[in-house]
Amino acid sequence: MGGVSINVNKSDVLVIGSGLGGLYCALNLSSKYNVTILTKTSRDKNNSCLAQGGVAASFHKAAHYKDTISAGVNYNKEEAVKVLVEDSLENINKLIDYGTNFEKDELGNFKLTREGGHSKNNILYFKDSTGKEIISSLIKEVDIRKNITIIEGVFAIDILNNDNGIVGILAINQRGEREVYLTKAIVLATGGIGQVYENTTNSSYATGDGIAMAFRAGAEIKDMEFVQFHPTAFYKDTIGQKFLISEAVRGEGGILKNANGDNFMKNYSTMGDLAPRDIVSQSIFKEMLRTNSSFVYLDISHKSSRFVEDRFPMIYETCLQEGYDITKDMIPVAPAEHYLMGGIKTDTEGRTNIYGLYACGECACTGVHGANRLASNSLLECIVYGNRVSKSIDKYIGERNFIDSNKLNDYKLLLEFKECRAWDAEEIQTEIKRVMSMNVSVVRSYMGLEDAYKRLLDLEGKINKQKEYTSSIKHIETINMFTVAILITKAALDRKRSLGAHYLVG
């Protein structure tokens, strides 16, 4: 291969990402297949672990369907929503079988809570760390499966594919060595894009890698303009990852108040504090502007101290460390980037337009969420569609064979790393975040979007746009962030009217 030494590995199914979508998909694949899960960090460093509120459970199917469509502003793909609702309890029961705990009352019945956009209490939860509880139980299950291997510290760079579909991926390991993973099926479960913005509830690893990889490989990307900003991230006058104050706080009676102490949500929606996230975030933005403040307050101090401490132990302790006793004090909050409704276009089996390439979880666009995601549908989508991906692969994989390793010479341009022109990845990342936060945020204008697009294109002169890479993951993540930022901004420019999370003014 042109004198380049590359380690070649083989696996029947390759899952990129160790969050809920990836783990659940791997667990539901037939045990006769060798499955490798690659994660660029460690197995427990993912957005799924950060999920606090809970998982929508469809105990009230008609209401759940209607609420999902309503929150999505009727832009949802109806077939995808029907699948989500109908397959919900089957997969919830699997989580329980894998050892996941959900809160129960003294009689052993599940406790159900409510969050924004829901008309009924329909959400299972575990304290205020539901995601961490689920991931912990799934990792234990993965570890006892002889056919599943998790490899940490491997960064997937690009998908190798030809006219017959996927072949494998190019990656870098922790030692900076290039590797190829040959496979019969690839599942992208790489999570979100939060690091494209200055303030996000996402982990520092959420750089949109899967979407950028899929785009470069020729996969269809859809609805990138719909970026959800969570209304209640803990406010600090610094840029970076924000601590999420769960929507369940409002579900349990928390009240949003402006800088003057007024409950303002009743002025914006008949659902008040439990309106869908796009409406709440946009309303908070307006109130901050009207009162000349950088944040609003979330108040749950009217509930008993014991209830608050028992129901939200992590939020209570974290806020206490920041100087706020939430049993007595109001919590300063402001919107922060939280979730992408768009992504890699898939059908209801998680298939993309590239043969053998699947996607599930936040990086995928199934059409379930429409223009705005209903609270607690993210974890549910991961398990419902992670399971459907596994069933589809089980049917498909028998038709596939590994490519002959000798044919990897056909991918010489991808496999030979060349020195990039010198450019400052940190500087470019900072500029991407600044541009997106200023012009492609909660509230947008056409003029601002045009300016953002121009400024992003100006960065191309500093970025090597050839498929040539150094062994610097930071450089590759920057290229991925740039790609995602361009996709979001271009999609926002193309949508001329407000819809859901895409809110235009002026």
DSSP string, 111-151: P-B--TT-SS--EE--TT-HHHHHHHHHHHHHHT-TTEEEE
| 8 Å CB contact between 259 and 278 | no
152 CA to centre of own chain: 19
| 8 Å CB contact between 46 and 18 | yes
Per the DSSP assignment, residues forming a β-bridge with 485 are none
Q: For residues 432 and 417, what is the distance between their CA atoms, to the nearest angstrom?
A: 25
Looking up tokens 């520092």, which residue turns up? 204
Q: How far separated are the first and last CA of the chain, in Å rounded?
A: 55
Q: For residues 168 and 171, what is the distance between their CA atoms, to the nearest angstrom?
A: 10
Per the DSSP assignment, residues forming a β-bridge with 296 are 333
Q: For residues 92 and 55, what is the distance between their CA atoms, to the nearest angstrom?
A: 9
| 8 Å CB contact between 365 and 341 | yes
Looking up tokens 């439990």, which residue turns up? 274
Q: Please identify which of the residues 277, 311, 373, 455 carries the catalytic annotation.
A: 277
**The amino acid at 116:** G
Question: Which of 495, 496, 442 has its CA nearest to residue 286?
Answer: 442
Q: For residues 429 and 410, what is the distance between their CA atoms, to the nearest angstrom?
A: 33
Residue 460 token pair: 């191309």
Is position 311 annotated as part of the catalytic site? no
| 8 Å CB contact between 349 and 389 | yes
Residues marked as catalytic: 277
